[in-house]
């Protein structure tokens, strides 16, 4: 078994040619509501009323217009991986080993592995290296996020220990498992996928490429990746405690320790204010020539930053697509999707563009408004599907519209209604919807603050009295 193979820009090329190939809207005049005020002061009417039509023509996507290619934004900094808000920072070990790194020819899964297994792993590692180079993910050592002390993207042999401590399990899907891991003193989320004949390393690196380019306050940050045998892992920051779906259910159930009207009011205020944050993130994603393509509560993370303050993050770009090298953002044909939140054109496997993301986020917003209006999220699901079994938004749009009128104590904004319009051409752009809501509530300063600095891990006691 060989030493760690370090993937770096200075890596030597493969030495033998016989080796397998490497492969114009309202302005924000209103002051932003504080978390301590009542819901009426947040700009919502205490009486049930239908919204007036939008006074300004809706800005829509021109899916056929060419877009400029967004520039690649470095995910590094002037220093390597460290905690930025701790009195005692962690500077990672310098990547001097990368200057000596080369691609090894004798990597194997274990001493007992046969030659076939070793050959498969060697090809997998070559594919890893080749795809990192192809996607321009290898950063100069002066700016890379050196979480491992050996570089940002690393190959470990199965006999070596990855410098991470598993702190808990966050969830699993059909193709991935997500854990909380401690890297030095920084808590990260680790998404692990197993490379198979059906699922290749290039599939995983598509998500890495998106995270590398997208650097926003409300998008999870790429820290690094590593390959261990067939298992490929992505390290991301922060490691959020829950997703929006769980937050909505817990709030509906009043499932929190401090069961007071003030705490419920703060949760309701968060659900309303964070709509601006999510629209800011989606506007940024679209501006950087990317479509998320799987927006749903399960892919929106919620992190507690103080006992009664939370922050949202867009996550899971595994199905995302970049259209930076195309003249338009429209795609067609079958793609993976979540039927409950997907746009009608996506479900019908027709042409779809950025407006499909707007539909999905609009559906999420209706659920957020439901809970913020003190209606149970499951009651909305039951109402939406009626006597049938289809609980999707695209299949029950009349019921969704009627439900909006039932949200007592709220004036739902017409821009949210337009976000879930059946006709993609009649949906607003994400930036239009953002400017509209900012005109109602004011801007959220967090949205323009850039990615959060790394913070040293400090155990937090949640509302159930558990340490995290």
**Six-digit token string for 71:** 């520039």
**Six-digit token string for 397:** 């749009």
Mind giving me the DSSP string for 78-131?
SS-S--SSSSS--PPPP-GGGGG----S---S-TT--HHHHHHHHHHHHHHHHH
pLDDT grade, residue 83 (50/70/90)?
very low
Q: What is the pLDDT of residue 444?
A: 94
Q: Find, among 229, 263, 258, the residue nearest to 109 by Cα.
A: 229
Give Cα 54 to chain centroid, integer Å. 30
Mark 384-407 as b/e (b = at least 16 C-beta within 10 Å).
beeeeeebbbbbbbeebeebbeeb
d(CA 81, CA 274): 29
Residue 260 has pLDDT above 50, yes or no: yes
Q: What is the pLDDT of residue 332?
A: 46
Task: Compute the Cα dihedral for 263, 264, 267, 269 and give only its sign.
Answer: negative
pLDDT, one tens digit per residue, over 113-161 is: 333 447 888 889 999 999 999 989 998 988 889 999 989 999 998 888 9
Long-range contacts formed by 86-89: CB under 8 A, 24+ apart: 86/185, 86/455, 86/456
DSSP category for residue 426: G
pLDDT grade, residue 465 (50/70/90)?
low
Q: Is the peptide bond between 238 and the residue preceding it cis, with omega within 30 degrees of 0? A: yes
Torsion of CA 405, 409, 415, 416, to 10 degrees: -70
d(CA 338, CA 348): 13
pLDDT, one tens digit per residue, over 60-73 is: 776 555 443 333 33
Q: What is the pLDDT of residue 381?
A: 95
SS3 181: strand
**What CATH number matches the domain at 72-237, 3.30.2320.20, 3.20.20.140, 3.30.200.20, 3.40.140.10?**
3.30.200.20
Mind giving me the DSSP string for 35-71?
TTS-GGGGT--SS--PPPPPSSPPP---TTS--PPPP
Q: What is the pLDDT of residue 57?
A: 64
Q: What are phi and psi of 338, to 5 degrees?
A: -100, 105
pLDDT, one tens digit per residue, over 172-223 is: 888 889 999 999 999 999 999 998 877 788 888 888 998 999 999 999 999 9
pLDDT, one tens digit per residue, over 370-420 is: 999 989 999 999 999 988 889 999 999 999 999 998 886 555 688 999 999
d(CA 271, CA 372): 6
Mark 250-271 as b/e (b = at least 16 C-beta within 10 Å).
bbbeeebeeeeeebbbbbbbbb
- Percent of the residues in the chain that have a pLDDT greater than 90, as a whole number: 46
For 84, 259, 307, 453, the CA distances from 35, given in Å and listed in that order, are 27, 16, 13, 24
**Six-digit token string for 230:** 């067939």
Architecture of domain 39-68+241-448: Orthogonal Bundle (1.10)
Residue 336 has pLDDT above 80, yes or no: no
Domain ranges of the chain: 39-68+241-448, 72-237
DSSP category for residue 336: -
Choose between 214 and 261: higher pLDDT.
Answer: 214
Residue 28 has pLDDT above 70, yes or no: no
Q: What is the pLDDT of residue 287?
A: 92
Q: What is the pLDDT of residue 92?
A: 38
pTM: 0.74
For residues 310 and 303, the answer to whether their CB atoms sit within 8 Å is yes
SS3 306: strand
For residues 463 and 92, the answer to whether their CB atoms sit within 8 Å is no
């Amino acid at each position: 078994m060989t030493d760690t193979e370090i993937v770096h820009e200075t890596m030597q090329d493969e030495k033998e040619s016989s080796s397998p190939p490497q492969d114009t809207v309202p302005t924000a005049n209103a002051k932003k509501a504080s978390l301590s005020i009542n819901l009426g002061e947040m700009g919502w009417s205490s009486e049930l009323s239908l919204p007036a039509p939008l006074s300004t023509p809706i800005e829509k996507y021109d899916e056929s217009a060419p877009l400029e290619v967004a520039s690649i934004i470095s995910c590094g900094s002037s220093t390597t991986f460290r905690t930025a808000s701790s009195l005692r920072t962690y500077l990672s070990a310098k990547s001097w080993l990368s200057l000596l790194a080369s691609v090894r020819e004798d990597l194997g899964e274990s001493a007992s592995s046969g030659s076939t297994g070793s050959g498969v792993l060697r090809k997998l590692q070559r594919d890893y290296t080749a795809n990192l180079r192809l996607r321009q993910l290898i950063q100069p050592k002066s700016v890379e996020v050196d979480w491992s002390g050996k570089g940002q993207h690393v190959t470990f042999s199965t006999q070596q220990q990855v410098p991470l401590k598993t702190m808990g399990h966050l969830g699993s899907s059909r193709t991935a498992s997500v854990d909380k891991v401690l890297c030095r003193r920084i808590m990260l989320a680790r998404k692990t996928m197993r490379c198979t004949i059906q699922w290749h390393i290039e599939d995983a690196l598509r998500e890495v490429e998106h995270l590398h380019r997208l650097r926003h306050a409300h998008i999870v940050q790429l820290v690094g990746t590593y390959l261990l045998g067939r298992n490929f892992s992505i390290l991301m920051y922060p490691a959020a405690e829950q997703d929006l779906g769980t937050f909505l259910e817990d709030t509906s159930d009043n499932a929190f320790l401090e069961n007071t009207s003030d705490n419920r009011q703060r949760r309701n205020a968060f659900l309303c204010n964070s709509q601006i944050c999510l629209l800011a993130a989606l506007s940024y994603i679209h501006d950087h020539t990317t479509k998320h393509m799987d927006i749903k509560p399960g892919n929106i993370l919620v992190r507690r930053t103080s006992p009664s303050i939370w922050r949202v993050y867009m996550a899971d770009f595994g199905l995302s697509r970049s259209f930076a090298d195309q003249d338009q953002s429209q795609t067609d044909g079958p793609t993976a999707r979540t039927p409950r939140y997907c746009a009608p054109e996506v479900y019908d496997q027709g042409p779809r563009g950025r407006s499909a993301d707007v539909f999905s986020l609009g559906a999420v917003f209706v659920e957020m408004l439901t809970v913020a209006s003190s209606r149970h999220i499951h009651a909305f699901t039951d109402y939406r599907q009626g006597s049938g079994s289809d609980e999707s938004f695209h299949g029950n749009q009349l019921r969704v519209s009627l439900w909006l009128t039932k949200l007592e104590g709220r004036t739902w904004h017409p821009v949210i209604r337009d976000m879930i319009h059946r006709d993609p051409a009649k949906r607003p752009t994400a930036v239009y919807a953002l400017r509209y809501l900012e005109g109602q509530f004011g801007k959220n300063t967090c949205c323009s603050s850039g990615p959060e600095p790394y913070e040293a891990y400090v155990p937090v006691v949640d509302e159930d009295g558990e340490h995290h």
